[in-house]
Chain A
Amino acid sequence: MLLRTINIVALPTLLFGVLIAVWSTVANQIQGFPPPMEVWNELLVVLSDPMYDNGAGDQGIALQLLSSLKRVFGGFALAIAVGIPVGLLIGMSKMAQTAFNPYIQILKPVSPLAWLPLALFVFKDVDMTAIFVIFITSIWPIIINTALGVRSVSEDYLNVAKVLQLTAFEKVFQIILPVAVPFIFTGMRLSLGIAWLVIVAAEMLTGGLGIGFWIWDEYNNLNYSHIIIGIILIGVVGYILDTIMGFIADHFDYRKRGRV
């Protein structure tokens, strides 16, 4: 037990040391590459006043992140609202599956960046564009996993529904959704991960406000330590989002509930 605790602390610490060493070496080799200590000091500065607002293009890091999160959740919410019903439909109806499948397969691999110009042209608005691009790239895992969840409902449960003569509505809410919900949350978790990946790229191209724009802006300002800070913060926020989703998913998973 003690050994395990030591391992949990010791191994990542050891790896951290290696990482810092490599980083320092790289920083020594490349002119202007910020060494770890410089980034650490800058990070403290950036985090000391995260909410300042000096007008467009010059705002604190928390405001940048919040602005990105708002877009992410806009697109994510839209993807959920459309993706779950479509997934349910595809899962329950062979006909719907046949109809939708080719389009899902073709649209799923399209890079978010390919959608960006089209969205900009259509919406002529940075926020709407980002939200749309997140929606269109993060909806697929939700649709696919929801349909998978529906199809994983055992024939026995459906027979129970038949014998009891449940209506279609009752069948969805009493039989299908309880089985499908863990799958749906898996889809949502993947989807949120994608959304968080996409937002950085989208904001770099659209500008305005947000963590992606912030990183690009700092590149133009030759402020390389801020780029590294941006990367670390994106990672941390992404990790937090994923953890929260995992937590919510477990809460709704009957397999992880009420067990003694």
Chain B
Amino acid sequence: MSTKPFLNIDHVNKIFPLGKGKEYVALRDVKLEIRENEIVSIIGHSGCGKSTLLNMIAGLDTISEGVILLEDREINAPGPERAVVFQNHSLLPWLTVYQNIEMAVKKVRDDLNPKEVKEHVMKYIDLVNLDHAKDKYPGEISGGMKQRVGIARALSIEPKVLLMDEPFGALDSLTRANLQDHLMRIQMQTGNTVVIITHDVDEAVLLSDRVIMMTNGPEATIGEILEVNLPRPRERLTLQHNEEYLRCRGAIVEFLYSKFAKHDD
């Protein structure tokens, strides 16, 4: 793992103008360096601007002040080197599983000939174990399968960073566990740099090398950064009583429910 910042979020502010000279400061002075091959999760209560932060990395949202650099290049628009897995999978319902991935591959990898495109698409369908469903439409497969297609599509364009916005938030807990295992296995294989937005404490500890804890908005910022010193591959069963796992879990719970507890209005 290299130590130079791969993805550098440098003193970023996000300000929404409210009109009449008023403004809402959603994020204040966010500073974070993410290393290559690292899995980082960003956790916080709803309204802490974590999705906004992810969207700024994706280039889908503008940066009000500060700068985000990927390999020393400034981010100011969306691009395929920063693939996004959206919470609601956002597969195109009129295309089959295969076609959804093919569409992304054809656009981004215009150097491939038709045979190579097919091999490339199949490689990623294979990676998420969906060979049997490749000709199905999104409407015909389960939520977990859809999200796996979403991941395959994002990975198929071989991004430098994989951005995931609460990727498993809409799934039931069994399916979620299954997808978390998929994700860890895939990341071991591909070595992607991954940024995950989550509000699930166990998910954050299980998946991440580091957990970024956000304070509450307005003017949300990074409160604490937690290193998760657990070897990979990680096994959810054996982790249940692992001291480091419990320490990390405890630290996040402490942060979210004591230091920055959020009460219903």
Question: Once bound together, how far apart are the Cα atoms of A257 and B88, in whole Å?
Answer: 22
Asked whether any CB of chain A lies closer than 8 Å to the CB of B107, the reply is yes
Question: Which residues of chain B (135-186) have a CB below 8 Å from chain A?
Answer: 137, 139-140, 157
Flag if B88 contacts A156 (CB, 8 Å).
Answer: yes
A164 with B157: CB separation less than 8 A? yes
Binds A, one of B14-22, B76-84, B249-257: B76-84
Is the CB–CB distance between B80 and A254 below 8 Å?
Answer: no
Known A170-B107, A178-B94, A255-B93; contact A163-B140, beta-carbon cutoff 8 A: no
Q: Which of B76-128 contact A (CB under 8 A)?
A: 77-80, 82-84, 86, 88, 90, 92-94, 96, 103-104, 107-108
Picked from A157, A162, A257, A258, the residue with its CB within 8 Å of the CB of B92 is A157
Provide the main secondary structure of the chain B interface: loop
B214 within 8 Å of A (CB atoms): no
Question: Within the assembled complex, what's the spacing in Å between the Cα atoms of A32 and B258?
Answer: 92
B58 in the interface (beta carbon within 8 A): yes
By the criterion CB–CB under 8 Å, are A165 and B107 in contact?
Answer: yes
Q: How large is the interface on A (under 10, 10 to 19, 20 to 34, 35 or more residues)?
A: 20 to 34
Q: How far is the CB of A118 from chain B (nearest CB, A)?
A: 43
Q: Chain B residue with minimal CB distance to A181?
A: B94
B107 cross-chain contacts in A, Cβ below 8 A: 164-166, 170
Let me know if A152 is at the binding interface, CB within 8 A: no
| Distance (whole angstroms) from the CB of B141 to the closest CB of chain A | 11
Are the CB atoms of A165 and B94 closer together than 8 Å?
A: no
Cβ of A254: which chain B residues have Cβ within 8 Å of it? 93-94
Cα separation A154 to B87 with both chains bound (whole Å) = 14
Q: Which residues of the other chain, B, contact A156 by a CB distance below 8 angstroms? A: 86, 88, 90
Measured in the bound complex, the distance between the Cα atoms of B217 and A232 in whole Å is 68
Q: Give the residues in chain B near A178, CB-CB below 8 Å.
A: 92, 94
Q: How far in angstroms is the closest Cβ of chain A from B118? A: 19
Counting CB contacts under 8 A, is A174 at the interface?
A: yes
Judged by a CB distance under 8 angstroms, whether A259 is at the interface is: yes
Report Cα–Cα, A170/B104, bound state, in Å: 12
* Contact digits for A145-157, partner B, Cβ 8 Å, 1 yes 0 no: 0000000001011
Q: What separation, in Å, do the CA atoms of A22 and B231 have in the docked complex? A: 88
Chain B's closest residue to A254 (CB) is B94
A157 touches B79 (CB 8 A): no
Measured between beta carbons, the chain B residues less than 8 angstroms from A154 are 90
Q: Which residues does chain B contribute within 8 Å of A259, judged by CB atoms? A: 137, 139-140
Establish whether residues B137 and A163, one from each chain, have CB atoms under 8 Å apart when the complex forms.
no
CB of B60 closer than 8 Å to a CB of A: yes
State A165–B139 Cα separation when bound (angstroms): 25
Interface centre among B79, B80, B94, B108 (most CB of A within 10 A): B94
The 5 closest A-B pairs by CB, nearest first: A254-B94, A156-B90, A162-B78, A178-B94, A163-B78
